[in-house]
Amino acid sequence: MSNLSTDESGRASSRALAAAPLAALVVLLLGACHQQAPLAPPAAMVLASPVHSDSDAGAGESIRYPVEAAARYSNAMSFRVAGKLIERAVRLGDSVRKGQVMARLDAVDAQKQAVSAQASLEAAEHRLVFAKQQLDRDQAQFAQNLIAANQLEQTEDAYAAALAGREQSAAQLVVARNTLQYNTLVADHDGLITSENADTGQVVSAGQAVYGLAWTGDMDVNLDAAASDLYRIAVGQAASITFPALPGRLFDARVREVAPAADPQSRTYRVKLTLRQPGAAVRLGMTGDATLSPATATGNAAADGPTFNVPATAIFHQGKDPAVWVIRSKDSTLELRSVTVGSYGDRSSLVTGGLRDGDTVVLAGVHTVYAGERVRQTKPLFDGEGEGGVVQQAASNKAGGSVTTAAAR
């Protein structure tokens, strides 16, 4: 009886030992089922701010540039033939009238050529008269069958040659007279002598500048505009001009011309404004300041649609295309949005397409974030930091540490 009890207790102990690992495994599995899901990483802090359309503000701001007064039309005065300059009738700063003699070349050779051409014309006319008389006689004799037909044909040929010779001599006389006239330099417009480029006694070539002539009439003021301001300048735009040499006086002007291409050295665009009533007080070469009123002309880039001024540090290039990081309002995640940049500046860029009024744009650290990242917005500490000022803001990194972003000036 005792042996049976011992066997039963042994078998119970064996079953208990075999069930122990299984119970432990069940406990572990139940513990794993009740374990909490891993926590999401904290939102990264980014320097961001809403952007608002500044089309009205940009178009409403005046532009100021230094200007220089210049004649609207000017040209170099030169002889059309070569020769020795023997007389200068006007000097630098003189006013001239249309048709006034300005300078003369030695015209002795030209006079002789004109006399020779006149003599050639007279000889050709005499030959033509003789040929006509001979033709009349031969025609009368041929009508009476006194001469052969070939003789009449020869007479007709001689008459035609004499007629052509007379026309040629007449044309040569015209050329000789024009050449003689070209030895005298005459003003072709009313104006002012702005430069002297040849001295008396000098041998000048055809087309060589002798004087610079600024035409009397409309006067321009010229300025060189930066590419970033072109969208605010349009033909017909009003402007006011002041000159330090004429204190207390204000002159009205209009934009007449905007250069289609930049100057290769300065990379600026020449803008010409016409003074409406310059008066005699405004002299060529005077320097002053032009204040251009807000442009309202059709075709102005500011009037084509809303524009946004964003810091240069907010621009992120997706390949060759510019883009910005925009924070979605529904879930505070980042979206990379392509934009159109009208112009780039040292501290800010003009975005003309791709943004909507009120979009929240990341202002700095655009190369440290990624699409879909959950972020938390922090605003610039001081006014102007969103426009390219120096900003440093501590932000949480992916592991809960800190990361610093800076908007470089």
Q: Summarize pLDDT for 111-150 with one digit per residue, the tens.
A: 999 999 999 999 999 999 999 999 999 999 999 999 999 9
Phi, psi of 90 (to 5 degrees): -130, 160
- For the stretch 308-333, pLDDT in tens is 888 888 898 888 889 999 999 888 89
Answer whether residue 4 shows pLDDT above 50: no
Local structure of 368: helix, strand or coil = coil
Q: Are strands 321-327 and 203-204 parallel, antiparallel or unpaired?
A: unpaired
Q: Is the per-residue pLDDT at 276 higher than 80?
A: yes
Using DSSP's 3-state secondary structure scheme, residue 39 falls into coil
Beta bridge partners of 338: 323
Strand boundaries in 276-358, DSSP class E: 287-292, 308-311, 316-318, 321-327, 334-338, 340-344, 348-353
Which domains are assigned to the chain?
Answer: 46-56+303-406 (2.40.420.20), 63-72+217-293 (2.40.30.170), 77-186 (1.10.287.470)
E-assigned strands of 161-230? 184-186, 191-196, 203-204, 209-215, 219-225
Spatial neighbors of 206 by CB under 8 A, at least 6 apart, are 78, 79, 80, 81, 82
Percentage of residues in the chain having pLDDT higher than 70: 78
Q: Judge if pTM exceeds 0.85.
A: no
